[in-house]
Structure 1
Amino acid sequence: MNKSSNTAGPGTPDPGKGSSAAEIEPVADVVSRAQAGDPGALAELVRRFQDMAVGYAWSLLGDFHLAEDAAQDAFIQVLGDLTSLREAAAFPGWLRRIVFKHCDRHTRRAGLSTVPLEGVVELTADMKTPNPLDELERAEAAGVIRIAVASLPEHQRETVTLYYIGEHSQSEIATFLDITEGAVRKRLHDARKSLKETLLDMVKKTLHNDAPSRDDRFETHVLLGAAAERGDLAEVRRILVAAPELARQDAAGSDEHQPLHYAVYGNQLDVVELLLAAGADPLKGIYPHREATSPRAMAFDRGLTPIVEAIDAHLARQRGASDVGRDLGNAAGRGDLAGVAAILDSDTSALDARDNRGRTALHRAAEGAHLGLATMLLDRGADVDAEDADGRRPLQMALHHGWKVPDDQYSSYTAMAGLLVGRGARYDLWAAAGLGDVAGVRGFLDAGTDALNGVDGRGAPLTVAAFRGHANIATMLLVAGADPDAKFPIDVAGEPFVQTGEPMWLAANRGHRAVVEALLAGGATAQASIYASGSAIEQSLLHGHVEVADLLFLHGAVGDPLTYCVTNDLAALAEKLQAHPEAREKLMWSAILAGNEAVVQHELAYGTAIPVERHFNLLEQAIRGWRIGNLKIGTQGWDRRSYLRNLQRLVDAGFELTMRNSRTSRADFTILHHLAARSCNPGDYGHTVEEVVEFARILVDGGAEVDALESQLHSTPLGWAARYGQLELCRFLLTRGADSNGGDADWARPLAWAQRYGHDKVAALLQEAGATA
């Protein structure tokens, strides 16, 4: 993209920056056209000001991913509210104030942490002569530059960022910041003097490379999100014709909002229907509270009945979903044989009814290894090979179930698989590999009729054989030519990503040494990692499979701080940090997540100061209960109350408890909201009720706001606790002064949440405290 076409604005450009004044349409005219509904003018505003908006946000936040997210949300608000702007020429300053507001949601003005600029200049002293840096080195160099700019005074930081991120003139910058051109020149002069020549050149290059105008991704996502929220059906259709994949693509790597979310925010039924037809997923939530943030859930909670009905109709057409299918699936998921039988006795046609994900009751029975329930369903004639929306059959759920299932339950899943096969489930190479059927595997391999590596790498027989511990089968498949790393494509934030090493990861997780040996002999990578789930070496050590870990170490695998914090191998941890000093940045996160008190105490006493913008993430790990939630992580000699004590240490160390989640500015929940959601603690093995209340007591005593409002569910921590049925947490918050009617809207108040989700005891408690519907 030609940057000079994207940077017009008011005033006379500097020589060599932007276009000549004669070529530039005054910004007031562009705004006026946009206010009149000209989609081209809306796009022009985004193109002209995207670098300024992101640059200004970065000067406040110090992180380009967060800056793009804040700027994107600001643009979506601006384009939706454009008709309210009375003076078209005031657009630049208006945009700046709205960007500031969205950045403020992230920081609550906690401020950027800085380092002395002299140290940064010293780091770059040997960078004057270009060197062939690899990707990591370039990323590290960019990090140095960002620290350098962050070390400038705020007024210099914002000015130098705006000047070098795009092709903007001093006049344009002055208008945007609402200062004089003379002030801009003075700030630039002072910043250049501080940065020195070498560092200044790197600043120019880094900011230029990070500018959103480097491609059209930012502009397109902004225009699509804004059009979806304001209900501009023609504009949404125009964008999707050119790029249909955007209907199901995340807004950014750090923001899982999709266009359908924005359409729900704006209550735009026509846009919702268009996006659904284009492939949008109405059940896709936003991390970390996915259940509460899917488009359907948000429409349901807001009382947007026409949108809920449109989504349900879509699910019925595409996945066969129905009310009876949802009820049947819920009962089957609980293993409620009597409940399932009662539904089927009253409606015999419901046997193969589907839930929202296209699953039948037999899918749910297989998923939970409910053998008696599955037998009853099959006796009644359930389709043994029914496929859900992802193409999975009950047999696949039985053989490749969740890896967190306790070891003593694996035999139940094997029995389930045997039942399904005995009742006629399709038997192929994958199934034979999962069941350890040597003769069957040999027969399928000789026939050559089944895909050796699954379909596009998915459903590889080698993966299920590794998971189930069949080393002989793994060897047969590898000799036949199976990919030892079982590569397959996955979707990450709407972008394609190649996953590799799942057989090794699963074998290490399960402690199947013979399988690991077979994979290594077949050419598998020892340093296998799974997206967002760690490495094979980490899995083997976390679960106490020392012999497997030793084998992987000998083949080149390396551990990381989290691994050694869990195993409390401080000698290995020290050696890791000595060899890789950059790993220290993750040390505190790892220690808190692992509940390692010794390392947390050491880092608080002797480690470097922790930037305030990292406080929320570290507090999040303290309440997460990760080590409790994974039943297979060794806990011998470890006290689960370590998490409580570590949280108290963070509070005592002055951690800022008013900081907000920074993944997306709309989801600006506090740590107390996050605790109420129990998002990382499944009900069957998370924190106890007493522990949750004790966490809350530490946070509230430390200064957490009991009535803080967030911008996505528009609720207080009490509202979230009511939504998730946390009776004792609700009781505690009320004793600490929480507003029983707190919330931004009637549907978002605590009593509304409790009643909507059937938490009768919570509702009664709230009504006793004065809550009203």
Structure 2
Amino acid sequence: MPALRDSAAFPGWFRRIVYKQCDRILRRKALATVPLQDVADQAGTQLSQADALEEREMKACVLEAIDALPEHERTTTMLFYISGYSHKEIGTFLGVAVSAVKKRLHSARSRLRDRLMVSLENTLRETRPSRDERFATRVIDMLKAARAGDLTKVKELLEEDPRLLSARDPMGNTALILAVNSGHDQIAELLLASGVQLDIHEAAAIGKTKRVVELLNENPARLDSYSPEGFTPLALAAHFGHVETTTVLLTRGANVNAISKHAIEVTPLHAALFGRRTETAKLLLAQGADVRVRPREGWTALHYVAAYGFAELVGPLIDRGADIHEPDAGGWTPLDVAEQEGSLVIADILRRRAAASKPSI
């Protein structure tokens, strides 16, 4: 220590040593074992060999993708998703701003999504039927074109093989769902005109209310069913701002507080706000949407409103129990978010409401 040339460099140098050592420990961590005689007692709760193998392969694929990230993104990703640290804690540890942490995570997610898509393509090609290899390749091309908004490619593929209308990826997503979720309306209309038979989630996502009603009349259990991506029809209709479809689903008794099975664990209200759809958000609030739920990513409804500048929703949310002082996963309150995003009107409203809620002495 006395020989250290630059004392100011010590914190960063020490952090790096700690992180690398922890990383080495985790990588060589031994697998847990159980006595052979105990295996029979656990059989009922254990995955089958096939399922366990599939799970291990998926984990290995994800970890390999993480390892391929640039070092600064890999470090941030591991600290946030694997170690469970907040944005603020990571920023303090790495010596960067919270905004930089969020940018790194956003970039990392984008890289991981692209890399895992390539892995998916390779898997599909490896498992495709040998008698129809060209069709398997076209399925991949169709889904990629729908997601990317390549209208010319979608038309070309459909002309070559109309069976691609029903093409799905391993998650169950059709080209129509991918096109709608990516905002490619022209492709969505093309697929509809080509004869796609909408299920209730596709119909809700693109606002085809008549089709939603038909499907509910056939089977009322579809009302709160989940799409392959883990969202209910109500969440999809609200997210894409389809007021008529949202109204019909609410009238039918859709669960306004259903939490998605997607990893982000959002309610229809979060889905509407994330999609910047204030009209459907108001409909959900009128039907008793719980404003206090906080998804896994850490933003309450009030955080979204503060970030996107929806001043008209601040009062209704607080009146229904939204906590002005509740921090997100990174330690940011709705007021912090409003100030960070430059929503000065909302920041002023939050300060006044916070002051009014303090007990008088």
Query: By the TM > 0.5 criterion, same fold?
Result: yes
Unaligned ranges ≥5, structure 1: 1-100, 109-221, 248-272, 295-313, 325-347, 402-409, 493-498, 581-773
Q: Which residue of 1 aligns with 2:167?
A: 386
Residues 1:284 and 2:62 aligned together: yes
1:527 to partner: Cα distance: 3.5
Q: CA deviation at 1:500?
A: 4.1
Distance in 1 of aligned mates of 2:275 and 2:353: 25
Which amino acid letter does the alignment assign opposite residue 276 of structure 1? Answer: L
User: Does structure 1 residue 567 correspond to structure 2 residue 339?
Assistant: no
Aligned-CA RMSD value = 4.7
Q: Who is 1:508 aligned against?
A: 273
Say if 2:146 and 2:154, in contact at 8 Å, map to a contact too: yes
| Letter in structure 1 aligned against 2:296 | Y
Is residue 2:203 matched to residue 1:455?
no
Shift of 1:537: 2.4
1:522 shift after superposition? 1.9
Q: Give 2:134's match in structure 1, choosing from 340, 343, 350.
A: 350
Whether the 8 Å contact between 1:506 and 1:536 is mirrored in structure 2 is no
Q: Which amino acid aligns with 1:545?
A: F
> Is 1:395 aligned to residue 176 of structure 2?
yes
Task: Report the alpha carbon displacement of residue 226 of structure 1 after superposing the two structures with TM.
Answer: 1.1
Q: Which residue of 2 aligns with 1:226?
A: 30
Residue 573 of structure 1: CA displacement?
Answer: 7.0
Whether contact under 8 Å (1:436, 1:465) holds in the other structure is yes
- The answer to whether the Cα contact below 8 Å between 2:168 and 2:174 also exists between their aligned partners in 1 is yes
Identify which of 237, 259, 263 aligns with 1:487: 259
| Alignment match, 2:311 | 546
Measured in 2, the distance between the counterparts of 1:517 and 1:547 equals 10
Would the alpha carbon gap of residues 508 and 528 (structure 1) be closer, same or farther in structure 2, given more than 3 Å must change? farther
Q: 2:148 pairs with 331, 353, 368, which one?
A: 368
* Residue 528 (structure 1) shift: 4.3
The answer (yes or no) to whether the contact 1:475–1:518 under 8 Å persists in 2 is yes
1:544 CA drift (Å): 2.9
After TM superposition, the score normalised by the length of structure 1 is 0.30
How far has the Cα of 1:465 moved from its partner? 0.7
Residue aligning to 1:530: 295
- Tell me the CA shift for residue 349 of structure 1: 4.0
Whole-Å separation in 2 of the counterparts to 1:388 and 1:437: 23
Q: Is the 8 A contact 2:231 2:262 kept in 1?
A: no
- Alignment CA distance shift 1:234-1:375 (3 Å): farther
Residues 1:246 and 1:290: Cα distance change in structure 2 (over 3 Å): farther
1:29 match: none
Query: Using the alignment, how far apart are the partners of 2:64 and 2:301 within structure 1?
Result: 27
- Larger helix share, 1 or 2: 2
Residues 508, 548 of structure 1: 8 Å contact kept? no
Q: For residues 513 and 455 of structure 1, do their structure 2 counterparts lie closer, same or farther at Cα, with a shift above 3 Å needed?
A: closer
Mind listing any 5+ residue stretches in structure 2 that lack a counterpart?
Answer: 1-13, 78-118, 325-333
User: Is the contact between residue 487 and residue 500 of structure 1 (CA under 8 Å) also seen in structure 2?
Assistant: yes
* 1:621-652 residue CA offsets vs partner (Å, 9 max, x unmatched): xxxxxxxxxxxxxxxxxxxxxxxxxxxxxxxx
Deviation at 1:531, TM superposition (A): 1.7
Change over 3 Å in CA distance of 1:542–1:446 after alignment to 2 = same
Hey, what's the Cα distance between the residues in 2 that align with 1:286 and 1:372?
Answer: 34
2-side partners of 1:490 and 1:431: how far apart? 16
* Alpha-carbon distance, 1:540 to partner: 2.8
2:217 is aligned with 1:439: no
CA distance in 2, matches of 1:517, 1:453: 20
Deviations 1:473-517 (A, max 9, x none): 11110111211122234569xxxxxx341x211222333222112
Give the counterpart letter for 2:192 in structure 1: V
* Distance of aligned partners of 1:104 and 1:575 in 2 relative to their CA distance in 1, 3 Å threshold: farther
Kindly provide the amino acid, as one letter, of the partner of residue 482 in structure 1: A
Compute the displacement of 1:564 (Å): 3.1
**How far, CA to CA, are the matches of 2:150 and 2:305 in structure 1?**
29
Structure 2 residue identity aligned to 1:519? L
CA-CA distance at 1:571 after TM superposition: 4.9
Preserved CA contact (<8 Å) 2:309 2:343: no
Distance 1:434 1:489, change over 3 A: closer
CA change 1:290–1:450 in 2 (3 A) is farther
Amino acid in the other structure paired with 2:310: H
CA distance in 2, matches of 1:276, 1:316: 19
Aligned to 2:124: 320
Indicate the residue corresponding to 2:240 in structure 1: 468
1: CA distance, partners of 2:41 / 2:51: 10
Pick the aligned partner of 2:18 from 97, 100, 105.
105
Q: Could you report, residue by residue, the CA deviation over 1:27-69 in whole angstroms, capped at 9, with x for unpaired residues?
A: xxxxxxxxxxxxxxxxxxxxxxxxxxxxxxxxxxxxxxxxxxx
What is the alpha-carbon distance in structure 2 between the residues aligned to residue 522 and residue 574 of structure 1? 28
Query: 1:396–1:490: structure 2 CA closer, same or farther, 3 Å change rule?
Result: closer
User: How far apart, CA to CA, are the structure 2 residues paired with 1:377 and 1:563?
Assistant: 46
Assess, with a 3 A threshold, how the Cα gap between structure 1 residues 487 and 422 changes in structure 2: closer, same or farther. same
Deviations 1:440-477 (A, max 9, x none): 22222222266111239933111111111111211110
- Going from structure 1 to structure 2, the CA distance change for 1:568 and 1:400 (only over 3 Å counts) comes to closer
Report the CA distance shift for 1:568/1:482 in structure 2 as closer, same or farther (over 3 A): closer
| Residues 456 and 488, structure 1, Cα contact 8 Å, conserved in 2 | no
Whole-Å Cα distance in 2 between the matches of residues 368 and 388 of structure 1?
Answer: 15
Q: Deviations over 1:182-241 (max 9, x none)?
A: xxxxxxxxxxxxxxxxxxxxxxxxxxxxxxxxxxxxxxxx9x95148xxx9999x96996
Shift in alpha-carbon separation, 1:288–1:453, aligned structure 2, 3 A: same
The DSSP-based 3-state class of the residue aligned with 1:482 is: coil
Summarize the Cα distance change of 1:389–1:279 in structure 2 as closer, same or farther, 3 Å threshold.
farther
Deviation, structure 1 residue 541: 2.8
Q: What CA distance in whole angstroms lies between the structure 2 residues aligned with 1:289 and 1:239?
A: 36
Alpha-carbon distance in structure 2 between the residues aligned to 1:471 and 1:315: 35
The percentage of aligned residue pairs carrying the same residue is: 20
Cα distance between partner residues in 2 of 1:240 and 1:491:
31
Counterpart residue type for residue 380 of structure 1 = E
Could you give the per-residue CA deviations for residues 389-429 of structure 1, whole angstroms, max 9, x where no partner exists?
Answer: 2121111112233xxxxxxxx3xx22222212222323122
Structure 1 462/353 Cα, relative in aligned 2: closer, same or farther at 3 Å? same
Cα distance in 2 for partners of 1:368, 1:532 equals 26
Partner Cα distance (1:379, 1:322) in 2: 26
SS for the counterpart of 2:144 is: helix
Label 1:399 to 1:289 Cα distance change in 2 as closer, same or farther (>3 A): farther
Deviation at 1:436, TM superposition (A): 1.8
Given that 2:231 and 2:261 are in contact with CA atoms closer than 8 Å, whether structure 1 keeps it comes out as: no
CA contact (8 A) 2:149 2:187 kept: yes
Q: 1:555 to 1:431 in 2, by over 3 A?
A: same
Q: Which amino acid aligns with 1:375?
A: K
Distance in 2, matches of 1:239 and 1:471, equals: 54
Q: Which has the larger radius of gyration?
A: 1
- Letter of the aligned partner of 1:565 in structure 2? Q
Instruction: Give the deviation of 1:377 after TM superposition.
Output: 1.2
Q: Is the 8 A contact 1:400 1:467 kept in 2?
A: no
Please tell me whether the aligned partners of residues 398 and 414 of structure 1 are also in contact (alpha carbons under 8 angstroms). yes
**1:91-137 Cα deviation digits (max 9, x unpaired):** xxxxxxxxxx99962499xxxxxxxxxxxxxxxxxxxxxxxxxxxxx
Q: Aligned letter for 1:530? A: P
| Number of residue equivalences | 274
